[in-house]
Structure 1
Amino acid sequence: MTRTYGATETDPGEKFKDSQFLVFMNRILAFTVAGLYCALTKQPRHGAAMYKYSFASLSNILSSWCQYEALKYISFPTQVLAKASKVIPVMMMGKLVSHKSYEYWEYLTAALISVGVSMFLLSSAPNRHVSTVTTFSGVVLLAGYIVFDSFTSNWQDALFTYKMSPVQMMFGVNVFSCLFTVGSLLEQGALLESVHFMARHSEFTAHAVLLSVCSACGQLFIFYTINQFGAAVFTIIMTLRQAFAILLSCLIYGHAVTVVGGLGVAVVFMALFLRVYARSRMKKRSKKLPPGETPVQKV
């Protein structure tokens, strides 16, 4: 959206400004790919009612809107703390949506990961001192983002109890995402204008398709992770991704890591070690149970 298309010596060109159309492109391609895959390959028997996918789709759209709008009204440290602390809200939403139970060490390690990632991101970001003031509106929008985002992954996790495949989940969610976004585009009169822009600039069309392909591939990994490991683990992975991206940048480009940042990395690795250790202890304990006693199922 920052790129100028069609620029010549006499024409300054134009920029594409409708991000909602790009979202629609992402969703329509993901819907098409998932639909073709489901039609051409054998999939598990579908047991979930179609309307249930609309909840995940709508909450995902609302979380994205709240996230982007909140950036206008909150400071950089607030952004970092909110994104790094999503694990606990996701676990709490899991108890509400799916009645999941978590061990005390899972809450402890989630909190440690949030603290460690926050320390590292706040100390390593070059523009951490240049930020807007956090307002009440920004806090409300940020809270909405966390709630809707936590609901989305947990609702998708709950839908997987119907024994569907990640591709079926991708198809169902994107059906409603396409309907919601195209309805909004038609209401605003932006759909035809965006299509005309694509017709005028073939380079933009290629870029939009490439973006949509990458988005569709990303969705497959997201749904597979939620299906195999659950919403909480998926959120931990996404939280750690932010820290590892900056850490990798520091290593590649030689940026210095502060003492606080290094301490934050140490806290994260300690939390991950504790998580692996506690889980292995639980597995060993379940194997030692008497033959007639069944272990409590861990979700």
Structure 2
Amino acid sequence: MTQTVTREGTLKFQNVSMNAKEQQSDRLDLKSNPISDRENGAEAHSATSGNSIVSMIICVLGIYASFLTWAVLQERISTTPYGADGRVFKASLVINTVQSVLAAVVGFIYLEFKKKGDDAKYNASIFPNSKTVQQYLLVAVCQSLASPFAYASLSYVDYLTLLLAKSCKLLPVMTLHLTIYRRRYPLYKYMIVLAITAGVCMFSVFHSSTKAKSASSAASSASSSSSLFGFLLLGINLFLDGFYNTTQDHMFHTNKSITGPHMMCGLNAISGALTALVLISPFTNQLSEAIDFISLHPRILYDILLFGICGALGQVFIFHTLEKYGSIILVTVTVTRKMFSMLLSVIWFNHKLQLGQWAGVFLVFAGIGFEAWLKYSEKKVKTK
């Protein structure tokens, strides 16, 4: 009997031992699972990182393709004749209206697409209150006024000068932040502005000296006066650009319900409505002039529509890049895009630049590039 008990006890012990071994084996399997999970996590992270890089490349290429084409079309529409009569399209309000309407439509589609995601901020109204509408209206008025000054300046300065001057938005933005919002900047910001301003001056001086060599003194004096008036128009354009840029920044900081798609749709809708009202008013005959020009040269209609589509798609890529990859990536892409726009203009329209002008271009983009590098360095220090 004792033996039986012992055997039963032994059998029970063996069963318990076997169960313990199985449990231990199960624990070992469980311990091995985190390794597998880490491997799966690493693979998932690698896949996500790879998708992010591909997405960023698509955004960068989208910005380049949209705005390089946009720049070529802008120069073609506003500076080159379309027929043997030598007439140049001057109805800038029509161009602005087409671009604003197309950008508002594309912005609305973009916003509806973003609403399908998990982020609830995109479900907010485009015009949540009267204050937001007033801010949109202020920005739209400045934006609508700024563009005609830029187009008008092309009668007195060339497109390359316009491109280079438009790269100097930092100057009016800083000035307005200092005077309106009482914001102070570090010394290097002022040095960058000085370098950019010097670069634009070098480009203009060498461009003027080139013209003077092939003209009489009277014609040279008239040309200099015209250039000064052109720069005055550019200055007004930059001031208005700076004002609506700072107002946009202020809106983003003070109203968290406003996102890029909201701004794109709302602002362009109001801008399009404003310029359309001006077009049908008795104060301008640009609409009838545009219809007359298009009837004689229908090819320009395709250029204007493509110009508007490129601008609208470019804005989508810009807002998506800003949201997903931050301002540093966007600034870098924007700076290089402007450089490529200038190079493309030189090649496409066969512009001739003097060595001093190239030096001025280098000084401008060196200043902008240095600013982008400093922003990147500051952000890198903050993330450590």
Smaller-chain TM-score bracket:
0.5 to 0.7
Per-residue deviation, 1:53 = 0.8
**1:178 pairs with 2:251:** no
Q: In 1, are the aligned partners of 2:110 and 2:316 still within 8 Å (CA)?
A: no
After superposition, residues 63-212 of structure 1 pair within 5 angstroms as 63-72=146-155, 83=166, 85-119=168-202, 123=206, 128-129=211-212, 132-134=223-225, 140-161=232-253, 162-163=255-256, 164-188=258-282, 205-212=301-308
Per-residue deviation, 1:165 = 2.2
2:134 alignment partner AA: Y
Q: In 2, are the aligned partners of 1:124 and 1:258 still within 8 Å (CA)?
A: yes
After superposition, residues 211-290 of structure 1 pair within 5 angstroms as 211-221=307-317, 228-229=326-327, 243-247=339-343, 259-261=355-357, 263-264=359-360, 267-268=363-364, 271=367, 274-275=370-371, 278-279=374-375, 282=378
1:215-244 deviation line (CA, Å, top 9, x unaligned): 2123335556788539xx96x986775555
Per-residue deviation, 1:262 = 5.5
Tell me the percent identity: 26
> Comparing 101-110 with 177-186, which one deviates more in the overlay?
101-110
Task: Measure the CA separation in 1 of the matches of 2:154 and 2:346.
Answer: 25
Pick the structure with more helix per residue: 2
Q: Who wins on radius of gyration, i.e. which is larger?
A: 2
Per-residue deviation, 1:170 = 1.0
How has the CA–CA distance of structure 1 residues 116 and 203 changed in structure 2, closer, same or farther, with 3 Å as cutoff?
closer
1:25-77 deviation line (CA, Å, top 9, x unaligned): 21111111212332343115355612211111111121122233344467999
Tell me the secondary structure at the aligned position of residue 269 of structure 2: helix
1:229 alignment partner AA: S
Per-residue deviation, 1:22 = 2.7
- Report the number of matched residues: 278
TM-score of the superposed pair, with normalisation by structure 1: 0.67
> Comparing 258-267 with 75-84, which one deviates more in the overlay?
75-84
2:110 alignment partner AA: Y
1:74-99 deviation line (CA, Å, top 9, x unaligned): 79998688556542222111334554
Per-residue deviation, 1:199 = 8.9
How has the CA–CA distance of structure 1 residues 185 and 100 changed in structure 2, closer, same or farther, with 3 Å as cutoff?
same
2:95 alignment partner AA: L
Residue 45 of structure 1, aligned match among 111, 124, 132: 124
Task: Measure the CA separation in 2 of the matches of 1:102 and 1:82.
Answer: 22
> Comparing 128-137 with 33-42, which one deviates more in the overlay?
128-137
> Comparing 167-176 with 152-161, which one deviates more in the overlay?
152-161
Task: Measure the CA separation in 2 of the matches of 1:217 and 1:278.
Answer: 29
How has the CA–CA distance of structure 1 residues 238 and 148 changed in structure 2, closer, same or farther, with 3 Å as cutoff?
farther
Task: Measure the CA separation in 2 of the matches of 1:22 and 1:253.
Answer: 21
Task: Measure the CA separation in 2 of the matches of 1:79 and 1:16.
Answer: 17
Per-residue deviation, 1:160 = 1.8
**1:3 pairs with 2:82:** yes
How has the CA–CA distance of structure 1 residues 218 and 134 changed in structure 2, closer, same or farther, with 3 Å as cutoff?
farther
1:220 alignment partner AA: V
Per-residue deviation, 1:198 = 7.0
Per-residue deviation, 1:171 = 0.9
How has the CA–CA distance of structure 1 residues 125 and 285 changed in structure 2, closer, same or farther, with 3 Å as cutoff?
same
Which residue pairs with 1:56 in the alignment? 139
1:260-288 deviation line (CA, Å, top 9, x unaligned): 35644664565457546654665577689
Which residue pairs with 1:296 in the alignment? none
Flag structure 2 segments of 5+ consecutive residues without an equivalent: 1-76, 116-121
Task: Measure the CA separation in 2 of the matches of 1:225 and 1:94.
Answer: 25
Task: Measure the CA separation in 2 of the matches of 1:67 and 1:224.
Answer: 27
